[in-house]
Each structure stands twice: as C-alpha cells, then as structure tokens.
Structure 1
Amino acid sequence: MTALGFLYPGHSAEDDYPRVEQLLASDIRLDVVHTDIGEDAHRVDALLRMGSAEQLASGIEELRLTGAEAVVWACTGAGFVYGWEGAHDQVRSLAQAAGMPASSTSFAFVHAMRELGVRRVAVGATYPDDVAELFAQFLRAGGADVVAVRGAGVATAAQVATWGEKELFALAREADHADAEAVLLPDTALHTASHLPALEEALGKPVLTANQVTVWEALRLTDRRVNAPALGTLFTREPIVQV
C-alpha cells in the first residue's frame, strides 16, 4: 500500500480524490487533509495568505497521522503567486515541516508537461486575467511556451466548485489554440476527474487538470507509476527520457 497525502484548502472539489483513487484501481490510498482557506478569493493577496507556511502547518500533524509517504500542496493559485523561486521555498518548507517529500500543484503541471514531452500549451484558468497571467509566467519560468491564456474571471473557489460539465468543456474549448500541444486547466476547485478522456477526445490533445496532476505528482514523489486510461494521457504515456 502506498499512502499519498494532500493538503487541500477549504472544501470545493476534494471529492475528485476518492474518484481518482477508484480509477487508479491499485494499492494506493489518497488522504486529503483540509487547511483553512482563509478568505476565499482569487486575488493575489488572499492567495499569498492561503499558501503561507502558517496555513500549511495547520494540517501537517493530521497528515502525518495518515501514514502518508509524500505530500502535495493541492492548490495551484496559492503556489504560483509566489513566483518560481518563492514556490520552491514554499515546497522546501513544507517538506521540512512534514518530514517527507513534498511538492505542489503548480510544480505538478510543469513536471507533467515534461513527462508528456510538450512545451507549447494553452491555459484555461477559472481565475481573473491578472492571476491567470501569473500562472502563465510560472509555466514560462519552467520552460513552457504559453501560446494562449484564457481567464474566466471567477472570483472564488466556491463558485468554481458549482461548475458542471457544460462550464468545464466550454472553458477548455475557449482556451484551446491550434499551436498548443496540450491544454492546462489550473484550479483544484474545478471538478475534472470524471471527464478527462472526454475532454481529450473533444480537443484532440492531452488535457492536464489540477487534481489530476496533483495525484500524479504524489505518485512521482514515491516512484510509483500507474496505468489508468480513465485519468487521461498523463496516466498512460511512457516517461520521456530527459537528455
């Protein structure tokens, strides 16, 4: 049994995780521990507070009790708002405090792109335009060529959590670009776990979503690889050898 831990702010789309656990169909347990979301707002100041060391520390002891072997900060916005170096500091602090390998959803997107061997991507973000652009800057710092950014302007995670299949697919289609090798949907408040193959079929290319890459990142930290076609191309491709 491999136990994976996730620090998740508040309550929005955390039900994606038991769904993913079911779709993995393996000896893998996903344990979600909730941190205090603070002010639920897709604003830079609120996201910086949400991702502070103090906020993350609030869930670490409970996480340890699950027996997790690795932890991922399951919040994209409250990671990339710190910038490339600041997000590294955030993850290092989390690993030190938790006493286990750690990462974040923001880095999961970068690592997942490298896994698939894609560089040119389009972003479909639920966030306002200024926050969406910060994610694009983060991806560029990680080596991506962001060819298009679509911000939906949703103010809170609670609002995003109410989105269904119609809104999800509309965002993905609006974000897509002919030059993009993959489409990225960066919000862990967005329910996507049940729609990944259909999204990829609709767009004709890999689609990377926040909760999907977050789980994949935790598996990567524990050197586990699972073939799970229901979770999209990311969970079926052989790894790209970096040279």
Structure 2
Amino acid sequence: MVTVGLLYPGHSAEDDYPALEARLDGTIRLPVVITSVGEDAHRVDALLDLGRAERLAEGATELAAAEPDAVMWACTSGSFVFGPEGARNQASGVAQALGVPVSSTSLAFVDACKALDVRRVAVAASYPEDVAQHFVRFLTAGGVEVVAMGSHGIITAAEVGTLDPGRVIAMVKAADHPDADAILVPDTAMHTLEIVDDLEAAVGKPVLTANQVTVWKGLQLIGPVPSLPGLGRLFSARGTHA
C-alpha cells in the first residue's frame, strides 16, 4: 500500500482525505498533518505567512512518523502566492527534510492540465479577486490559458469548508465558458472529493479540484497513478500518466 502524506493548513476540508481513504478501502493511505495558521484569511500577506518554510518544516517533522512515500503541501493559495519558483522551493524544502518526493496543489494543477492535454481553462475560485489573480498568473506561467474566472470573495477557509455540494456545483456551472477545455476549482478548503463526477456531469467536461489534483499528484510522484472510481477523468485511463 502506498502512502501519500498531506500537509494541510488549519481546519476546513481536511476530512475529505480520510473519507476518500475509507471509500478506497485500503488502496492508498492519506495521513494528514495539520500545519499551523497565523490568520485564516484569503489575503496575500496572510497566505505568505501560511506557507512559510518554518510552518512546513514543523509539519514535515510530525508527518515523518507516518513514513510517507511522497508528500503534498495540500494548499493552493499558500503555494501559488509564492509564484512557480517559490512553490518549487516550498516542495524542495520539505523533500530535503523527509527524503521523499514532494509537490504542492498549485504545481499539481499545472501538471494535471498537462496530463489531460488541457490548454485553456475556466476557474471557479472561492477567493477574493486579487488572490484569484495570483492563481491565474501561476497557471499562465505554467502554459495554461485562463479564458474565464469567477471569484466569490470568500475570505476564510473555514467558511469555504461549509459550502454544500449544491453550492459548489452552482459555482462550477457559473464559471464554465465555451472556450474552456476544463474547469479548475482551486481551493483545498472546499469539500469536493465526493462530487467530482457530479461536477463533471454538470458541465460535460473535465473538472479539476484542489483536493483531487493533490491526491493525483501525490500518487504520480510514486509511480503510475491507478484508475480510481468517482474521481473524474483525471483518474481515468487518460489522466493517469503525465
């Protein structure tokens, strides 16, 4: 059994991961370590603090006990605000501490788009506009064109974690654009792992969510990604190799 360790900031949708682990009935282990949070705010200064190397290092020390085969910094906004190079530096710092491959949710979004040959996307962001634009720039730097972006101005991760499936589906449908090859839902604070297939059915195209791409990338760091039910086209045969 492979183990993808997750460093997750604070409390909002971290229960998405053990729920998925239970549904997959022993296929993979997804141990979660909660990293410290200064202020729960989707604001650039707070996010730069959230993703500080010291916070990740503390989490990595705790996660070592789970003996992960790979580790993901399961935070989109706390990685993309650092830019591509900064996000890679975050991952390499944790990798040096634990001696296993490491990536982050923001980097996973770019890699997942490449795996599905997705060039143009629409973004359904829970964040305020200015924070969401950091994600747009991150994607653009990775060769992904954003043709439409809906931002919903939700300040705290805690509030995002309370959104019900109907609200998430509505956000994704509202963000869709005829020119978009896929819809990206970038917040790991949003519960999505149980509704990926529902989201894709609602728009008729691939939907990449933060917690979904986080698990996918963690598995890809270890080897070929298994085809897993209920997790959308990314986990179908087409999306399991990048």
Q: TM-score band (shorter)?
A: over 0.9
Aligned to 2:79: 79
The two structures have a TM-score, normalised by structure 1, of 0.96
Q: Within 5 A, what are the aligned runs for 1:3-82?
A: 3-82=3-82
- Give 1:106's aligned residue: 106
Q: Which residue of 1 aligns with 2:162?
A: 162
| Residue 44 of structure 1: how far off its partner (Å) | 0.3
One-letter code aligned to 2:208:
L
Letter in 2 for 1:36: S
* Offset, 1:152: 0.4
Which residue does the alignment assign to 1:196?
196
Contact 1:2 1:69 in 2 (8 A): yes
Whether the 8 Å CA contact 2:44–2:131 is kept in 1: the answer is: yes
Contact 1:114 1:240 in 2 (8 A): no
1:125 aligned partner: 125
Indicate the SS of the match to 2:67.
Answer: coil
Task: Please give the secondary structure, in 2, of the residue aligned with 1:230.
Answer: coil
- The CA deviation string for residues 62-106 of structure 1, in whole angstroms up to 9 with x for no partner, is 211001011000000000000111111111112112221100000
Asked if the contact 2:227–2:240 (Cα under 8 Å) also holds between the matched residues in 1, the reply is: no
Secondary structure, counterpart of 1:22 in structure 2: helix
Q: Runs ≥4 in structure 1, deviation > 6 angstroms?
A: none
Mapped pair 1:149 → 2:159:
no
Give aligned pairs, total.
Answer: 242
* Between 78-87 and 93-102, the greater mean CA deviation after superposition: 93-102
Say whether the 8 Å CA contact 2:225–2:240 is kept in structure 1. Answer: no
User: Where do 5+ consecutive residues of structure 2 fail to align?
Assistant: none
Percent identity among equivalent residues? 55
How far apart are the structure 2 equivalents of 1:82 and 1:148? 22
Contact 1:24–1:226 (Cα < 8 Å) also in 2: no
Distance 1:23 1:196 in 2: 14
Distance 1:50 1:169 in 2: 28
| Matched-pair contact (CA < 8 Å) for 2:21–2:27 | no
In 1: Cα distance, 2:237 partner to 2:180 partner: 18
In structure 2, what is the Cα distance between the partners aligned to 1:43 and 1:98? 29
RMSD, matched Cα: 1.4
C-alpha contact 2:233 2:239 (8 A) present in aligned 1: no
Q: How far has the Cα of 1:6 moved from its partner?
A: 0.4
Tell me, in whole angstroms, the C-alpha distance in 2 between the residues paired with 1:111 and 1:149: 19
Query: Cα distance, 1:3 vs. partner?
Result: 1.1
> Once the 2 structures are TM-superposed, how far is the Cα of residue 220 of structure 1 from its aligned partner?
0.4
Q: TM-score, normalised by structure 2?
A: 0.96
Deviates more, 1:14-23 or 1:33-42: 14-23
Measure the CA separation in 2 of the matches of 1:78 and 1:108. 13
Q: Structure 1: any 5+ residue segments left out of the alignment?
A: none
**1:120–1:146 CA contact under 8 A, matched in 2:** yes
SS of the residue aligned with 2:225? coil
Letter of the 1:64 partner, please give it: A
Q: CA deviation at 1:240?
A: 8.2
Residue identity in the other structure for 1:153: G
What displacement does 1:221 show?
0.5
Note if contact 1:197-1:229 (Cα within 8 Å) is conserved in structure 2: no
- Rounded to whole Å, the distance in 1 between the matches of 2:21 and 2:123 is 26
> Is 2:235 aligned against 1:235?
yes
Q: 1: CA distance between counterparts of 2:213 and 2:154?
A: 22
Instruction: Indicate conservation of the 8 Å contact 1:23/1:230, yes or no.
Output: no
Distance 2:240 2:68 in 1: 27
The alpha-carbon deviation at position 229 of structure 1 amounts to 2.8
CA contact (8 A) 1:20 1:231 kept: no
